[in-house]
Amino acid sequence: MANELDSIQMKNTLKEIYDALCEKGYDPARQIAGYILSEDPVYITDWKNARGKIVKIDRDKLLIELINNYLND
């Protein structure tokens, strides 16, 4: 149950980051991918604290979640 809640919370946070990137005119998929690959938070805007939010997400868990969701859809 806790794992499912973590997954939902991660998804909600990632959606907030995605929306903030869209609002600033960035390509959110490219920016998030750049962050995941490099761990450089400069890929993520500070708008609406998106940068602060993404650095709190475990990159390995995020990548695993993204792959699982991609392959299960």
List the chain domain ranges: 2-72
Distance CA 1, CA 43 (A): 32
Q: Is residue 2's pLDDT more than 60? A: no
Residue 20 has a pLDDT of 99
pTM over 0.85: yes
At residue 1 the predicted structure's pLDDT band, cuts being 50, 70 and 90, is: low
pLDDT in tens, 25-60: 999 999 999 999 999 999 999 999 999 999 999 999
